[in-house]
Structure 1
Amino acid sequence: MRFFPALTEVFTSPLPPAELLRRVQDSVQQARAFTGRVAAQEFTISRVIDYRNSMLPRIKGEVAAGPAGGSRVRLQHSLHPAVLAFAALWLGVVGSVVAAMGLALAHGDFRTDVEGPVGPALIPVGMLVVGLLLFTVPFWAEVRQSRPLLIELLQLAPVAEEAGG
């Protein structure tokens, strides 16, 4: 599994761009699978869910005419910018504390209260692990649910040489 919560892929579809965008618009208007907006050659959507999830991927699609008559679609799954900023702040602060602890330990300067347990000193490490899991696991779980819906709805086939993240 990739760790950073972002995925960019390129697909082809036998559907012409107008039909492809119409299908996305229908899905959005009827709130069947997705919600969002559709413009002339692009869309920004997210999956319709019955629960709160701040890690729900925002899916931005760019549609162009394909060389063989269908469409070429570039999909970007990403977190909301506010969630990304919060993740950077959390992981940056806690990561700095863990790095400082690691450097102090490497230099032999890291000490805990001799009388007390070592456990409280590991809290920042636990917070870093929890933060990493918090910002990645739910995102990728949601990508695994929204991606097949889009592939089926838009009849997408991956373009292997340009897929990446």
Structure 2
Amino acid sequence: MKYLPYENLTYKTHLSKEEILKRLNNKTEPEQWIRMSGVFSSGKHKEYEGVINENSFKISRIIGYRNSFLPRIEGKIEEGKGSTLIHIKMRLHTFVLVFLVIWLSVMFIAATFLITTFSREVSHQSISSLASFTPFLMIIIISIVTILAFHYEGNKSKEFFQNLFEAERQANQG
């Protein structure tokens, strides 16, 4: 399993660029700012939402629950001799990434401050020592939740693309 919330993938298929775009269009609808779910939803929607262009696409999975760590998927289609390559990048939403960086930085600074403050005290009480590790524990927990939630949804998309494009995954360099 990857330890960061991003992935670069390449799929190789025998399908033409036109067929890939057609299949992708059949599974993708325009992005909506507000999507009703639950009782208010008709449940009649496609698997993905986003924009599909001539040689690229920017989409994300439509899910019936909240997941701030849902991958944003960008793809580029490259035709070759006898096969077509689809290069896919899965990333966190920019706002979520910025929020996480700021939040984790604040927690790291708080943890460093607490450890240096408690290490100067003559009497080390177990409660104060435990409190100094709380920000580190929060950093570990949010990191694990982010990675697991991102890859949980990312794995569904990887399987979806492999089946949709009748493709095999290529090993990525770098």
What whole-Å deviation, never above 9, does each CA across 1:12-51 have from its counterpart, x for those lacking one? Answer: 1111011101111110138432111101100111112111
Equivalent residues in 2 for 1:4-43, closer than 5 Å: 4-29=4-29, 31-43=45-57
Percent of pairs identical after alignment? 24
1:66 positional shift: 2.2
Task: For residue 140 of structure 1, give the secondary structure of its aligned residue in structure 2.
Answer: helix
Query: Match for 1:16: what amino acid?
Result: S
Tell me whether 1:95 sits opposite 2:111 in the alignment: no
- How many residues matched? 159
Gaps of 5+ in 1: none
Taking only aligned residues, the RMSD between alpha carbons, in angstroms, comes to 2.3
Match of 1:63 among 47, 66, 77: 77
CA contact (8 A) 1:112 1:121 kept: no
What CA distance in whole angstroms lies between the structure 2 residues aligned with 1:88 and 1:113?
34
Amino acid aligned to 1:45? I
Range moving further from structure 2, 122-131 or 93-102:
93-102
3-state SS of the aligned residue for 1:62?
A: strand
Does 1:54 pair with 2:68?
yes
> Which AA in structure 2 matches 1:39?
N
Tell me the residue number matched to 2:135.
124
- Relative to structure 1, the CA distance from residue 31 to residue 42 in structure 2 (aligned partners, 3 Å threshold; closer, same or farther) is farther
CA contact (8 A) 1:8 1:163 kept: no
List runs of 5+ in structure 2 lacking aligned partners. 30-43
Counterpart CA distance in 2 for 1:100 and 1:67 is 59
Counterpart contact for 2:71–2:91, Cα < 8 Å: yes
SS at match of 1:96: helix
Partners of 1:71 and 1:112 lie apart in 2 by 67
Q: Which AA in structure 2 matches 1:61? A: G
Tell me the equivalent position of 2:161. Answer: 150
- Per the normalisation by structure 2, the TM-score is 0.81
The TM-score normalised by the length of structure 1 is: 0.85
- Aligned position for 1:3: 3
